[in-house]
Structure 1
Amino acid sequence: MAYTNSPLVVYTGLSPNHSGQRTHAIDRITPHCVVGQLSAETICACFPAGRDASCNYGIGTDGRVSLCVEEKNRSWCTSSNANDQRAITIECASDKTEPYAMNSAVYATLIKICTDICQRNGKSKLLWFADKGKSLNYAPKSDEMVITVHRWFANKSCPGDWLYSCLGDLAAKVTAALGSTQQEPTTDKTVWYRVRKTWADSKSQLGAYKVLANAKAKVDANPGYAVFDENGKVIYGSAAATGFSPYLVNVTIEDLNIRKGPGTNYGTVGKYTGKGCFTIVEEASGQGASQWGLLKSYADGRDGWISLDFATRI
């Protein structure tokens, strides 16, 4: 099929970080929170060569739209090859802390660009089921687009509780703009309580529990652990006292090593960050720097640490 890009774009800063042309037709939209009140231009600057991340579009804090990866190409945005092959991914300017709220200009533009994406791709309905299993197993009809979220594919809060709670409204407004009626969303959902040392350290997980009391008992028997809800928020345990929230940094050198652990005594992963902005999801002390930070895009494997001596907090 012939792919086009949104006429809403006011700035183009194409990232080399993509997998070339898609292998699946577009039938999903995945909105993200960028974790920072960034401009359209700065969102594109977050994805320099050497960083394993990108998105199709960015929406800046003033509602302006940037193009980071053309719609014809698969971006690297949701920690899922299968989802990115079929989804248009959109990074939206947001607050730096939960619930990662977005202002009215960003949300209004998100409605407009989702409507535009649906129109140009021949869709008359945008669907939100509020359920991972149903959404990922659903086979959209030729005129349907489905909303998916990053947290379904990785241990992340994205797109944040603020936008997550708005996705039913987003689907309804876009579908109405397209001239169709929105189906009633499915809201039944099992809540899982995860026991970990930190939210970013998925390998430390001791278990996931449907009953909060059982999760608390596990923490009581394992000092240093905490109970996290599905959004990564500490609700019980020692980690509640850390008060750490992810934040953005600007890296000022091109050849900053990415290491397998917080210290120069750890080997590198064979890549540099390049200049640009990055999200830090955890801090640690270690050899060779005053402080080390774990990059968001490497958090699941925990092999993406950089020296914060060469980064400026945004």
Structure 2
Amino acid sequence: MKLVQSILTKNDCYKSGRKITVKGLMLHSVGCPQSNASVFVKNWNRSDLEACVHGFIDGNTGTVYQTLPWNHRGWHAGGAANNTHIGVEMCEPACIKYTSGANFTCSDLTTAKAVAKRTYEAAVELFASLCKQYGLDPMKDGVIISHREGCARGLASNHGDPEHLWNQLGTGYTMNGFRKAVQADMKGGGVTTTPNAEKPTTGGTGATVKPYLVRVTIPDLYIRKGPGTNYGKNGFIKPGVYTIVEERTGAGASKWGKLKSGAGWISLDYAKKA
């Protein structure tokens, strides 16, 4: 996880200088088709905006931009959670278009899911780090909540994020799964993007196949040590054409391919046959 400090020193929330005793973390998504976090950092660094969060997660890179000191009282929840919770916004895919309320259409589901996956993984790592820093138990009731859950508890304004995004894109992500993923990451289990934070299997189901070529087009696809997101990372694979020699089905019915080079496994959900 890459973290960049971009404190919004011109925002009135920062200028107010109020501090909180951190008791929890609230997960948001921005509610508009913008995947570039730097746009929000730039537009929110002014004095006439009555909103401020502790960080934004970039949808293109997964980079976290910290915009308030973590123990600073933010203006993110629209309710009492401002007094207790750190608020972090995940950027949303640029290829969605809101039609009414929290409903949207999507012109490129593959790209949209990749953005959601990237921000989910970064949020897991960030929340695991913050839980360690503030001695928080991610599985304790009310510690990690979404904006939607905050609303249901009477602690936040009437928003449906980020579940509205995950559900309509068909990602399978849930807040229960997210909390379990944070817990696993705190224990050194690595980031998972599966809905229920399953542990690694012995390799999933699959078989050796006749070697074939796939084309990778996204710049930040992880190479994994095994066929699943619970396995360790061997860095990124560069865009290009690669040979697959084995296929396996991982948790959540995800498809994985073993690279002929021996570097590891890649998700075939983000690669196309060449």
TM-score for the superposition, normalised by structure 2: 0.51
- Offset, 1:49: 1.4
For residues 161-176 of structure 1, what are the structure 2 equivalents within 5 Å?
161-163=164-166, 165-176=173-184
Q: 2-side partners of 1:127 and 1:65: how far apart? A: 23
- After the TM superposition, list the runs of 4 or more consecutive aligned residues in structure 1 that deviate by more than 6 angstroms: none
Q: Call closer, same or farther: CA 1:160–1:173 in 2, change over 3 Å.
A: closer
SS in structure 1 of the partner of residue 144 of structure 2: strand
Q: Name the SS for the 2:56 alignment partner.
A: strand
Matches within 5 A, 1:15-34: 15=9, 16-18=11-13, 19-23=16-20, 25-34=21-30
Per the normalisation by structure 1, the TM-score is 0.45
Taking every aligned residue pair, what percent have the same amino acid on both sides? 16
The 3-state SS of whatever aligns with 2:33 is coil
Counterpart in the other structure of 2:223: none
Q: CA deviation at 1:14?
A: 1.7
| Correspondence 1:43 to 2:13 | no
Q: Which ranges of structure 1 fall in alignment gaps of 5 or more residues?
A: 1-6, 130-134, 136-144, 182-314
Q: CA deviation at 1:44?
A: 1.4
Q: Aligned residue for 1:105?
A: 118
1:179 maps to 2:179: no
- Contact 1:43–1:91 (CA<8 Å) still a contact in 2? no
1:37 deviates by 2.8
> For 1:103, what is the secondary structure of its paired residue?
helix
Q: 1:149 is matched by which residue type in structure 2?
A: H
- How far 1:162 sits from its partner (Å)? 3.4
> Which of 155, 159, 169 lines up with 1:156 in the alignment?
159
Which secondary structure state, in structure 2, belongs to the residue aligned with residue 46 of structure 1? helix
Q: Cα–Cα, structure 1 residues 147 and 70, in superposed 2: closer, same or farther, change >3 Å?
A: same
> How far, CA to CA, are the matches of 2:140 and 2:49 in structure 1?
31
Shift of 1:72: 2.2
Residues 127, 171 of structure 1: 8 Å contact kept: yes
Map 1:1-314; keep pairs closer than 5 Å: 8-15=2-9, 16-18=11-13, 19-23=16-20, 25-34=21-30, 35-47=32-44, 48-61=46-59, 62-80=61-79, 82-95=80-93, 96=96, 97=98, 98=102, 102-123=115-136, 125-127=137-139, 135=142, 145-150=143-148, 152=151, 153-163=156-166, 165-179=173-187
What amino acid maps onto 1:45 in structure 2? K
For the residue of structure 2 that corresponds to 1:127, the secondary structure is coil
Residues 75 and 84, structure 1, Cα contact 8 Å, conserved in 2: yes
- How many residue pairs align between the two structures? 158
Tell me how far 1:42 sits from its aligned partner. Answer: 1.4
**Cα 1:60–1:8 shift into 2, 3 Å:** same
Q: In structure 2, do the counterparts of structure 1 residues 20 and 9 end up closer, same or farther at CA, with 3 Å as the change threshold?
A: same
- Verify the 8 A CA contact 2:146 2:161 in the aligned structure 1: no
Task: Rate the CA distance shift 1:65–1:99 in 2: closer, same or farther, 3 A.
Answer: farther
2:161 corresponds to which letter in structure 1? Answer: C
- CA distance in 1 between counterparts of 2:103 and 2:180 reads 22
Residue identity matched to 1:26: V
Deviation at 1:147, TM superposition (A): 1.9
Distance change >3 Å, CA 160–CA 174, structure 1 → 2: closer
Q: 1:77 Cα deviation (Å)?
A: 0.6
Conserved 8 A contact 1:37-1:60: no
Which SS does the other structure have where 1:52 is aligned?
A: coil
- 1:9 maps to amino acid: L
SS where residue 89 of structure 2 aligns?
Answer: strand
Q: CA RMSD in A?
A: 2.8
CA contact (8 A) 1:27 1:87 kept: yes
The whole-number CA distance in structure 2 between the counterparts of 1:99 and 1:64 is 26
User: Is the 2:147–2:159 contact (alpha carbons within 8 Å) kept by the matching residues of 1?
Assistant: no
